[in-house]
């Protein structure tokens, strides 16, 4: 798959997820086989460009691979300025968010709310594509609701506006994350445009990725929530797409090493105590995937105030039980 000057090493991408797709998680997923790893969405409001939260979301220092940053907003001029600023800060690819279903985003006419105004969509896409000399991509849903699906129309607008690739989450904004993804709509989008199309929604296993690519004709798939607690899903999926064999889940020792490494990176990136707080949700996701359900120990982990203490308790949570060792 080619996006502008970039030829991707695979067909499995990490979705931009608010509160999740920070630099430590992107680096982990990329090391585990994600061909692209998008940042969480970053505001285009000028007053917040130097805010600490925004700076952390934009931080791509030392990142390997293509540095992809997603911006959100509703003003073409501000979005263009935000794109320019973030390219100056190191972004090599800009993505525009027109897919977020969150009320706080849609209530300010951003995210998937933009799909109700195709004229504004065109103005935004043209402004951002003209503002930077790096590829600009777009993420959308299939429409605002089932009665107003317009993904094909928006895709054609995107192609005409200079957008380099398009990701389609196969649900309307009204659907949120419920119900089955509409892969037939993604297939219609793929047939309507010549730019690369990425399929997103409910891709939670290597075989599902293969089935979605076959059903939609898409150039790649994007995985989001299914990677929480199992970042190795990217390398398993890419391997499956290449030879039909996902291979085994990483062994316990490798998983433990990856998890501890991730926690250390979170602590270093955010500092203490924010890094400890940010690590808690990941520990919960890892524990759920591991089958580690010691609630008392999990509670101690969530209450840990030092980074070393949090890591040692996590190691204990993920260590083999005496019964496992005896077996």
Residue-wise pLDDT for 281-302, tens only, equals: 999 999 999 988 799 999 999 9
pLDDT band at 323 (very low <50, low <70, confident <90, very high): very low
Domain spans in the chain, listed from the N-terminal domain onward? 2-243, 252-319
Q: What is the DSSP letter of 256?
A: H
Is a pLDDT exceeding 60 seen at residue 326?
no
In 68-164, which ranges are continuous DSSP H helix? Answer: 76-88, 103-106, 118-131, 151-161
Instruction: State the pTM of this model.
Output: 0.93
Report the alpha-carbon distance of residue 234 to residue 13 in Å, rounded.
8
Alpha carbon distances (Å) from 265 to 19, 66, 245, 262, 269: 15, 20, 31, 5, 6
Q: What is the DSSP string of 165-234?
A: EEEEESS-TTTTT-S---HHHHHHHHHH-SS-EEEESS--SHHHHHHHHHHH--SEEEE-GGGTT-TTHH
pLDDT band at 275 (very low <50, low <70, confident <90, very high): very high
Report the alpha-carbon distance of residue 189 to residue 139 in Å, rounded.
13
Report, at the CATH architecture level, how domain 2-243 is classified. Answer: Alpha-Beta Barrel (3.20)
Residue-wise pLDDT for 14-36, tens only, equals: 999 999 999 999 999 999 999 99
Report the alpha-carbon distance of residue 164 to residue 194 in Å, rounded.
10
Residues with Cβ within 8 Å of 58's Cβ and at least 6 positions away in sequence, in order, are 39, 42, 69, 86, 89, 91
Helical packing angle, 274-290 and 307-317, nearest 10°: 0
Helical packing angle, 252-270 and 23-31, nearest 10°: 150
Report the alpha-carbon distance of residue 33 to residue 294 in Å, rounded.
31
Active site residues: 100
Is a pLDDT exceeding 70 seen at residue 322?
no
Residue 3 pLDDT: 97
Residue-wise pLDDT for 129-176, tens only, equals: 999 999 999 999 999 888 899 999 999 999 999 999 999 999 998 888
Residue-wise pLDDT for 216-229, tens only, equals: 999 999 999 999 99
Average pLDDT over residues 68-96: 96
Residue 183 pLDDT: 96
pLDDT band at 103 (very low <50, low <70, confident <90, very high): confident
Residue 292 pLDDT: 84
Average pLDDT over residues 251-259: 95
Beta-bridge mates of residue 71: 42, 96
Residue 125 pLDDT: 98
Residue-wise pLDDT for 191-218, tens only, equals: 999 999 999 999 999 999 999 999 999 9
* Omega cis (within 30) before 212: no
Report the alpha-carbon distance of residue 220 to residue 223 in Å, rounded.
10
């Amino acid at each position: 798959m080619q996006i502008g000057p970039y030829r991707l090493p695979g067909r499995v991408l990490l979705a931009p997820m608010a509160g999740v797709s920070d630099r430590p998680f992107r680096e982990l997923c990329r090391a585990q086989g994600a061909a692209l790893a998008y940042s969480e969405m970053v505001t285009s409001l000028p007053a917040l460009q130097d805010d600490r939260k925004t700076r952390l979301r934009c931080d791509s220092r030392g990142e390997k691979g293509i540095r992809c940053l997603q911006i959100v907003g509703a003003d073409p001029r501000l979005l263009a300025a935000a794109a320019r600023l973030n390219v100056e800060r190191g972004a090599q690819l800009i993505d525009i968010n027109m897919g977020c279903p969150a009320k706080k985003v849609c209530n300010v006419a951003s995210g998937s709310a933009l799909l109700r105004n195709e004229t504004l969509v065109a103005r935004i896409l043209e402004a951002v594509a003209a503002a930077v000399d790096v590829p600009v991509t777009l993420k959308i849903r299939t429409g605002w609701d089932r009665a107003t699906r317009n993904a094909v129309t928006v895709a054609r607008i995107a192609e005409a506006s200079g957008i380099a690739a398009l990701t389609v989450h196969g649900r309307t904004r009204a659907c949120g994350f419920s119900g089955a993804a509409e892969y037939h709509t993604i297939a219609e989008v793929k047939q309507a445009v010549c730019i690369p199309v990425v399929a997103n929604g409910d891709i939670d296993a290597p075989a599902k990725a293969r089935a979605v690519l076959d059903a939609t004709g898409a150039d790649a798939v994007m995985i989001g929530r299914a990677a929480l607690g199992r970042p190795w899903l990217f390398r398993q999926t890419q391997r499956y797409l290449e030879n039909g064999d996902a291979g085994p889940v990483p062994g316990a020792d490798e998983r433990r090493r990856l998890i501890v490494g991730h926690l250390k990176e979170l602590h270093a990136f955010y500092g203490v105590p924010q890094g400890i707080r940010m690590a808690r949700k990941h520990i919960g996701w890892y524990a759920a995937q591991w089958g580690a359900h010691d609630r008392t120990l999990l509670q101690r982990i969530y209450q840990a105030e030092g980074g070393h203490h949090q890591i040692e308790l996590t190691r204990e949570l993920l260590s083999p039980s005496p019964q496992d060792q005896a077996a």
